[in-house]
Amino acid sequence: MAGTGNVIVVDHPLVQHKLTLMRRKDQPTTDFRRLVSEVSLLLAYEVTRDLPLETIEIETPLEPMTAPILAGKKLCFVSILRAGNGILDGMLDLVPSARVGHVGLYRDPETLVPVEYYIKVPDDLGERLTVVVDPMLATGHSAAAAIGRLKQAGAKKIRFVCLLAAPEGLAVVAETHPDVTVYTAAIDRQLDSHGYIRPGLGDAGDRLFGTK
């Protein structure tokens, strides 16, 4: 991994290989969805690297032993609808006991400002590591708005995971939420005039769900 400030780029060879396959415009929806799930599992591995452990007494088939197990409340994954669900599925494969929340936001096509239409999260967010997931960190406004709402709901320790980030989006999150670390597979060049990441991979939601 490579990290500067509040950004960690997961540069594992398998992540980079699968990301390249995802970027290809001729990648079918089924394969794109599978690749997102696979990369998400690998990103989940990195974002949970420092989860606290405690020890318990167990018995193996051969003898008793003291062994490590996750301590305290399980973490919570929060998906920014709808595209975040593509990442959520892969992460739950790795941490099936995690709690799950959802924040519904859409980006106004004229102003690019996020509009909230739904939020449902566990009551005890303050006692859990909260991992917010969305494939693309573009303008950063949706991510910043979602993180702000989660803080209002009690979240104290938040991390953000995405497949791709633009420098503009990273700057917005760093300015509005300097306590939040962003995990991403790559930082692309820039945003275009429509708020799309370049070179990017297109609209992740449309490619995940075959809606365009």
Write down the pTM of the prediction.
Answer: 0.91
- Whether 58 has a binding-site annotation, put simply, is no
Q: Give residues with Cβ within 8 angstroms of 108, minimum separation 6.
A: 114, 115
Q: Is 181 assigned a catalytic role?
A: no
pLDDT in tens, 47-105: 999 999 999 999 999 999 999 999 877 899 999 988 889 899 889 999 998 999 999 98
Residue position matching structure tokens 């018995």: 59
Which of 185, 184, 187, 149 is CA-nearest to residue 168?
A: 187
- pLDDT for the residue 2: 57
Residue 97 lies in a domain: yes
Specify the 3-state DSSP secondary structure of 194: coil
Q: Is 107 assigned a catalytic role?
A: yes
Residue 82 lies in a domain: yes
Residue 58 lies in a domain: no
Q: How far apart (Å, rounded) are the C-alpha atoms in residues 55 and 71?
A: 8
Q: How far apart (Å, rounded) are the C-alpha atoms in residues 149 and 144?
A: 9
Residue 185 lies in a domain: yes
DSSP codes, 104-143: EEEE-TTT--EEEEEEE--TTGGGSEEEEE-SEESSSHHH
- pLDDT for the residue 138: 92
Q: Which domain holds residue 188?
A: 2-49+75-209
Q: Is 128 assigned a catalytic role?
A: no
- pLDDT for the residue 3: 52
**Contacts by 48-51, CB closer than 8 A, 24 or more apart:** 48/75, 48/94, 48/95, 48/129, 48/131, 51/75, 51/129
Catalytic-role residue among 4, 30, 66, 111: 111
Q: How many domains would you assign to the chain?
A: 1
Catalytic-role residue among 34, 99, 107, 149: 107
What CATH number has the domain bearing residue 179? 3.40.50.2020
Residue 169 lies in a domain: yes
- Whether 17 has a binding-site annotation, put simply, is no
Cα angle: 32, vertex 100, 184; to 5 degrees: 45
Q: Is 111 assigned a catalytic role?
A: yes
pLDDT band at 203 (very low <50, low <70, confident <90, very high): confident
Catalytic-role residue among 11, 124, 179, 206: 206
- Whether 141 has a binding-site annotation, put simply, is yes
pLDDT in tens, 106-159: 777 777 677 888 999 998 898 899 999 999 999 998 899 999 999 999 999 999
- pLDDT for the residue 211: 82
